[in-house]
Each structure stands twice: as C-alpha cells, then as structure tokens.
Structure 1
C-alpha cells in the first residue's frame, strides 16, 4: 500500500493579524489554531502566508546579505566571536550542528557561513540579565547598510513570532497569555546563512555537509530562504523529505522548548540542509532563521494535561541551559551530557 506524500501544510494566519483579533474568539482564528495544531502534531513544520512582512523588507535584507557575504573571507573574519558567544560571523566549516544533538562528527564540517545577531542586555535596562544569553551584537562596518536592514527585518520577525505564539496558545487550549511571563524578555536571534562560496576560498570535499541534522533550540523559528532545493525534514517515517518555501511564504518550525512543553505532542522536527552540487560547486542558497527562544530563566517542563499517568516527561531545564548545551556542541564540538531523543532518530534515518 503506497504511503501518503510528505507535505508541509500551508496556513493563512491573516485572521490573527486582523483588527480586533486580539481576543482570538473568531471562527476564523479557531480555524487557524486547529490547522496549526494539526501541522505541529504531524509535521512540526508549517508554511505561513498572510504574515504581512513587507516584501521590500525582505528584499532589502537579501541585498545586504549579498553585500556582506560577498566581502573577502579575511575581511569577514574580523567579525568573528569566540565559540561561547552566539553572535557575529562564523566562517565555513567552523560549526557542526549535528553535535548539538550529540551526533558525533569527525570534525566541524558544516559548509555554510553565517552571521548572527540577537537580543542585547541593553534592551531591558531594568533587568539584571546575563551577558552570556543577551550578548552585545557585532555589526560589520565593512557593510555600512547591513545593520539597518537587519534591524528592520528583526523587528518584523519579532512581532510575527509573538502573533504566532498567541495562535499556538489557542491551539494548545491553554488560557490566553499563558506564555507571556516566559517571553517578556525573550532571547531572540537571527542567523543569516550563505552556502554559495567563491571558488578557492574553502576546499569542498565529500565529508562536508551544508548544515548538519539538528533541531532548533527555542520555541519557534521563522525561516526565510531562497526557493532553492536543500532543506530536508526528517519525517515520522524516519526518511528525509525535501522542503522549500512557497511564493511569499515563511517556513515555521517548532524548537525544543515547545516540544518539551508539550512532551512531544508537538514536534521539534529534525532537519538539515544539503545544498545541491553542480560540477563541484554549491548552487547559491541564502536563508535567514529568526529564533524566538523565550526568557533565559523560563523553565521548560510539560504543560498541564500533556502527561498521562505513568508517562515519563522531560526533566525541567531552563531555556538558557538548553541553549548553552546545544551551542557548545554546535560551535565547540562538546557533546551534550544528557541523552537526547532526537539523536537516535538521526542515527537511524534512511
């Protein structure tokens, strides 16, 4: 009997952006919440349209990504930070995302280069926040318009993430505002990635991967990406499936925090990027992943009603602890000390 095709559902979230939708009691919002619940239970990824992020904002971001990533490698390396800081520039083959799950790699072999910015302590002057989680950003002076374009996009993505969280709250049937105290000083980050590297800068070999198999660390991720093959999602059939964004759509996926909160009722889906290779060259692919991660001190433990009698739940962990453990694997090759359920799935994938 043939299996059903793998599909990432598309959901129009515009009812949650409509005037007066804050009460979330309309039939349209209820429909959206139900569609999101199905997508989060069955796939862990969803395409969203009706998001209202201006196309001009995305176009400006991509132009500035091209300007920065087009700089000489030695120039870009001026903006590199230490492995303990999740900010600044990461050169090619300096990270291994599979190690964030404890899946051993022979070396740092993810072929992308990236630039990361995020929430800073200065945004919450009345709170005593740890610099480790809310690090000061590095901005590339060699790309003078980069900062304003990135900050514009970051603001829009942050607003969209909070709207999505409101819809997720309805989908999970917890009281409105349930997560508010867990995200009122959320660690948010934007990781901008580039896979098309100039010939001769970095040697490509068969051991290099585009971006190793991993889950995301926080609550949810908003992904803009070129409509180029490469992203693959590990389905419930334990097989890899290709996925790419539709026209004017963003790909949304859940992170570890949401999976732990729901005790895997909702899926933090394993995914990877294997950009297509033609004549030994990687076809150009760019992406920007906005991570909505939650407060550093928010405790991730099962939501009410997500555990049945005798069912084991995830042990409590703070958002910062979970992120720190996975970043240590990603950037420094330090295997997480806690066994991760996702690692077994990666190792058995076909």
Structure 2
C-alpha cells in the first residue's frame, strides 16, 4: 500500500552556505613569533623525512609551534570548511542546542555554547564551537546538526585528508626525532580506531574594548591542549599568542598553513580587527582507546637522561588516551564560571598537567 500524505517524509530545505572570505590582515605592528616552516611536499623524497625531522627538531623541543606548507590541501577546500562553520554559527539557537557537548561525561562532540561567566567580571565567555568526530563506525550513532548532516560527505572527506596528508606525516617526523620506529606514533593515534579526534568550527564573537579590558586578567596566563597535535588554519584576525622560549608572549602571524599548539592564549584583537568575529577551523588529534598513556621508550630521551625508572617500566598501570582526555575535558569544561586556576594542576591516574601557565 502506498503511504498516505500524512506518512510521507517532509523534505528538509538545505541550508544555504554563503562563501566566507578571510578578513584583511591587521595593519598594526605586532611582536610576531618566528616560526619554523615545514614543507611536507618533500616528505616522500629520498632522505626527505630525515631532513624535515632535523628542521622540526628545534620547534618540537623548544617552541612547540610551527608552520606546515606543501600539505596538498588546496585553499578552496579550506575556505569551504570555514564557510560551513560560519553558516552553522548563524543558525538559530534551538538548532545549535539540538546536540550539545556532554561535559558531565567529558565528551566533547557537539555544540558548546558561550554561556559561562568569566570570573566575577559580569562578562560571559565569547567562544562558540562545534566539534565533529571522525567518520568511523564507532561514531555512526553520534547525532549531527542539520548543516553537518547535509554536508557530511564533504566534511568527513576533509577530516580524513587532514589526518592522512598532515597528522600522519608529522607523527612520522616526530618519531624519527625520538628515534622510534616511524609508525610508533601513527599506530598510537590510528585514524580507524576509536578516539576523540575531532574537526572543530569555532568563533570568538566580538566584544567591546571595555569588555575585553574587564576579562583580560583571565587570559594573562596560557594553557595547553588536551591531545597530541592541534592543527589550526589561518584566518587573519590576530589575537593568538604563544609563549616563546624566553618566556615572552608573541603573536602568531596569519599564514597559509597549519600550526601545532603549545602553551598559548587568546587576547584582545588589534584595534582595526576588534569588530570582526574570529572564525576558527581546527583539527584535534587525540590518543585513543588502544593507547596507554606512558612515556614513549625513546632512545633519544634515554640518552638525554630524561627517562626516569618509572618511565622505563612499561608495565605500570596507566589510563588510556580516551580516559585521560575525557577526564581533562570534564575537569576544565564542566563548570559555569571560568576561573584562573593559578597554582593548580590537573591530576589523573599518575598524570599531572598545570591548569594555568603564568
């Protein structure tokens, strides 16, 4: 029997995605951090990996930030992802709240609203974000917002290419630096295995200068991210700073590339950009269920005297990557007020990380 009119599915109108264009760079003279540039187009050349690893060594061990070029992801695809993210943040609040992050369980997939208060300033957090898990069978049942469902093939393809073209190669270079088998870190973060990797659309909504001034005390210190590698696509609005080896905070200059996250913070944008929402596109790679959070058995670390006897004992109990990441997400984000947490640390099953870096 043919379905009645009442039983027929009502088609959902596809959301129009307007092209997003990067804002003009700031004209202000800022103190930019010098960053190493890693050209991944050389990765498959004879001796290319080894040479790139030598170039990366200083950035890995001292700065923690670097620029990646030659990755094979054309700018049209990147701008398309910015456009999808921008369109999502313009959706109505009911649609955005239809799938929210479950911070009580340390789960970071879904939408995070800018609902938390910044200390006692009377100003709310200005960050909204949407975190999309990688396209593996284990996450098939994770809900999808309308705009994500409509563009999921495109989003998931981009997600996978970020891992294959960038993350995988960076893990090989870091393994070479640590004198480990080349696939050691790749296997610890295998794309096809369950982990909390996610693609993130993010926006820092605009504030008045007076609001920035009231909240600035809460961004004087920095933080580190929860996983192993963070890829950040350039979007031209300044505000991101990293702590340089000399302890000074320096701006990260917008570039056509990718950056790995270290101790960092976001501060007031320059005066000529304070009126522009700071849209973000990021990829977070996190160790997963099959990875035990122990110090890697690196011959380099051994030769430098950086491995303790406890580090060398690979049989000691330790949490998995997912357990650790979710515990840290829960600790940081399951709060209604953001405090500075000075002189405090997060501890979980023998792992300890400062909450706040001066």
Q: TM-score range by the shorter chain?
A: 0.7 to 0.9
Q: Is the 8 A contact 1:113 1:194 kept in 2?
A: yes
SS of equivalent residue, structure 1 residue 7: coil
SS of equivalent residue, structure 2 residue 260: strand
1:33 is displaced (CA, Å) by 0.9
Query: 1:177-192 to 2 correspondence within 5 Å?
Result: 177-184=183-190, 185=193, 187=195, 188-192=197-201
SS of equivalent residue, structure 1 residue 48: strand
Shift in alpha-carbon separation, 1:177–1:30, aligned structure 2, 3 A = same
Query: 1:1-350 to 2 correspondence within 5 Å?
Result: 6-16=33-43, 18=44, 21=45, 26-83=46-103, 84=105, 85-94=107-116, 110-119=125-134, 122-123=137-138, 136-141=141-146, 145-159=150-164, 160-184=166-190, 185=193, 187=195, 188-196=197-205, 206-207=214-215, 213-246=222-255, 248-253=256-261, 269-276=262-269, 282-304=275-297, 305=299, 306-307=301-302, 308=305, 311=308, 316-333=318-335, 336-338=346-348, 340-343=352-355, 346=357, 349=358
Separation in 2, partners of 1:89, 1:64 = 14
Separation in 2, partners of 1:182, 1:343 = 25
SS of equivalent residue, structure 1 residue 329: helix
Q: Is the 8 A contact 2:227 2:287 kept in 1?
A: yes
> With structure 2 as the length reference, what TM-score do the two structures score?
0.71
What whole-Å deviation, never above 9, does each CA across 1:82-126 have from its counterpart, x for those lacking one? 223211111114498xxxxxxxx6699542100001136625xxx
Q: Is the 8 A contact 2:268 2:274 kept in 1?
A: no
SS of equivalent residue, structure 1 residue 320: helix
SS of equivalent residue, structure 2 residue 202: strand
SS of equivalent residue, structure 1 residue 175: coil
1:277 is displaced (CA, Å) by 6.7
Query: Where do 5+ consecutive residues of structure 1 fail to align?
Result: 97-104, 124-133, 254-268
1:32 is displaced (CA, Å) by 0.6
Larger Rg: 2
RMSD in angstroms over aligned alpha carbons? 3.5
SS of equivalent residue, structure 1 residue 115: strand
Shift in alpha-carbon separation, 1:106–1:54, aligned structure 2, 3 A = same
Separation in 1, partners of 2:203, 2:279 = 5
SS of equivalent residue, structure 2 residue 322: helix
Separation in 2, partners of 1:149, 1:210 = 35
Separation in 2, partners of 1:280, 1:249 = 21
Structure 1 runs (4+) deviating above 6 angstroms are 208-212, 312-315
> With structure 1 as the length reference, what TM-score do the two structures score?
0.73
